[in-house]
Amino acid sequence: MDLPVIVGADGSEASLQAVDWAADEAALRGVPLHVVYASLWERYEQAVFPAAQERSEQILTDVLVVAAAKRARQRVPGTEVTTEVVPEGPVPVLRRAARKASVLVIGSRGRGGAAELLSGSVCLSVAGRADGVVVVVRGAHDNRTGPRSRGRRVVVGVPDKPADSAAVRFAFREAARRGVPLEAVWAWDVPAEEATDHAPFTGEPARVHRRRAVEALESGLRAQTEEHPGVEVRRRVIEGPARAALLDASADAALLVVGARHPHGRFGPHVGRVTHAVLHHAACPVAVVPERG
C-alpha cells in the first residue's frame, strides 16, 4: 500500500488550510490521510498533575484533532482519515512523520501568541532537516483538480546540478498527477569578477552563460521529459537571482517545488537562501524535496 499523506495540525487557521490541502492530496493520490498533533502541554500537565482525570490541554487536543479529522472527511468523503496525538514537540514529531509519508503537509504559521513567533523556526527546522518531501501550505490556493485548476501549473526551481534531481522528478510526477503544465525555471547570472575582467565585452559573457544555462536546463530535463511524454514542459531561463524568479512564478502556480541538500552533522534549521525566501514569501504551497549528497 502506498504511504499516507500526513498533515500536522494544531488548531490554527494555517493548519486548517493545511488539512484541506492534505485531504485533497490524499484523494488525488488515492491514499489515507493521517492527522498528527504534537502536544508538549499534555506531557507537562501529566507530570505536574499525575492524578488529574481530565487535563485542559487534553480536552483542547481532543477537540482540535477531532475537528480536523471531521473537516477532512467532509471535504473528501470516502477518504480514510486517522488521527494521532504525540506528547512531544512539533519538530521531532513532524520530522519522524516525514519518513513515513508520501508527503508531509504543514501550515506556514502556528497557533497564536508565542507559537506565531516560533512558527518560522518550526517550519524551517522541519523542511530543512526532514528526510521526506515537506509541503508548506502558503497562499490562498486550494489543491483541488478539475475545471477550477485549468491554467494552473507546477513550477520547479531546477538546481545548478540538475542531473537526476529528486526535485525535478517529483515536480514531473505532480504535474502528471494533476494534469497541468510544468514550468522549469533556471536562473543564471554572469559572475561579478568575469563581468569586471571583460568590461569592454560585457555582451559576450552574458551570451555564453545564457547558452550554457539553456543547455544545462535541457540536459537536466531530458530524462524526465522522456519518462513523462504527456506533461507539457515550459522552460524559463532567467538572468538574475533564483529566489526572485521563483517568487514571481509562484503568483499563479498550483505548487512550487524546490530541492534542499541537508547537511549532515549540523544542528538547527539549514536551508539555502532560495528555499528560505520561498518558504516565507511564496504565493502558493511550496514542496521542499531532499536531494542526495
Per-residue pLDDT tens for 97-135?
Answer: 999 999 999 998 755 444 443 345 788 889 888 999 999
| Element housing 237 (H / E) | strand 233-239
Q: pTM of the full predicted structure?
A: 0.85
Distance CA 228, CA 61 (A): 43
Which residue type is seen at 231? V
Q: Specify if 142 maps to a domain.
A: no
pLDDT of residue 192: 55
Report how many domains make up the chain: 2
How many residues in total does the chain contain?
A: 293
- Write down which residue in 82, 102, 137 finishes a domain: 137
Beta bridge mates, 5: 33, 103
Pinpoint the alpha helices (H) of the chain.
13-29, 40-48, 56-75, 90-99, 113-129, 166-178, 192-197, 203-227, 242-249, 273-281
For residue 62, the enclosing domain spans 5-137
Distance CA 63, CA 58 (A): 9
pLDDT of 155 over the 90 cut: yes
pLDDT of residue 63: 78
- The full DSSP string for 126-186 is HHHH-SS-EEEE-SS-----SGGGTT--EEEE--SS-TT-HHHHHHHHHHHHHT--EEEEE
Mean pLDDT of the 30-53 span: 68
Residues 164 and 119 in one domain: no
Residue 280's CATH number: 3.40.50.620
Provide the pairing of β-strand 134-137 with 286-290.
antiparallel
- Write down which residue in 137, 161, 194 finishes a domain: 137
Which residue type is seen at 261? R
